[in-house]
Amino acid sequence: MSVDSDIRRLGQSARSAARLLAGLSSQQKRDMLLRMAEVVEQQQSQIQAENEEDLAAGRQAGLSSALLDRLELTDSRFSAMVAGIRNVAELPDPVGEEIEAMTHPAGMRISRRRVPIGVIGIIYESRPNVTADAAALCLRSGNAVILRGGREAIRANTAIANALRAGGAAAHLPDGAVQLIQTTDRAAVRALCQLDEYVDLIIPRGGEGLIRAVVDMSRVPVIKHNKGVCHTYVDVSADLEMACGICENAKCHRPGVCNAMETLLVHEQVVGDFLPNMCQRLTDLGVELRGDERARAVVPTMRAATTTDWDEEYLDLILSVGVVDDVDAAIAHITKYGSQHSDAIVAADEVAQEKFLSGVDSAAVYVNASTRFTDGAEFGMGAEIGISTDKLHARGPMGLRELTTYKFVVQGSGQIRA
Each residue's pLDDT tens digit, 62-107:
998 878 988 999 999 999 999 989 999 999 999 999 999 999 999 9
90-95: Cβ within 8 A, 24+ apart: 90/30, 91/140, 91/381, 91/382, 91/399, 91/400, 92/400, 93/26, 93/29, 93/30, 93/140, 93/141, 93/400, 94/141, 94/400, 94/401, 94/403, 94/404, 95/22, 95/26, 95/141, 95/142, 95/404
User: Can you give the residue ranges of every domain in the chain?
Assistant: 3-225+398-411, 230-373
Each residue's pLDDT tens digit, 36-56:
999 999 999 999 999 999 999
Cα 380 to chain centroid, rounded: 14
CA 312 → CA 222, 252, 378, distances in Å? 23, 17, 25
Answer for the pair 122, 222: CB distance below 8 angstroms, yes or no: no
Look up residue 339 and give its DSSP letter. -
Q: Which of 66-70, 186-190, 354-358 has the lowest mean pLDDT?
A: 66-70
Q: Does domain 230-373 have CATH number 3.40.309.10?
A: yes
pTM (2 d.p.): 0.86
Alpha helical stretches, state H, 22-104: 26-42, 44-61, 65-71, 75-90
**Average confidence score pLDDT of the chain:** 95
Distance CA 113, CA 124 (A): 30
Each residue's pLDDT tens digit, 303-347:
999 999 999 999 899 999 999 999 999 999 999 999 999 999 999
Each residue's pLDDT tens digit, 104-150:
999 999 999 999 999 999 999 878 999 999 999 999 999 999 999 99
Q: What is the DSSP string of 218-256?
A: -SS-B--B----EEEEE-TT--HHHHHHHHHHHHHS-TT
* Helix (H), strand (E), coil (C) string for 386-418: CEECCCCCCCEECCCHHHEEEEEEEECCCCCCC
Give domain 3-225+398-411's CATH number out of 3.20.20.140, 3.40.605.10, 3.30.420.40, 3.40.50.620.
Answer: 3.40.605.10
Count of Cβ atoms closer than 10 Å to residue 413 Cβ: 8
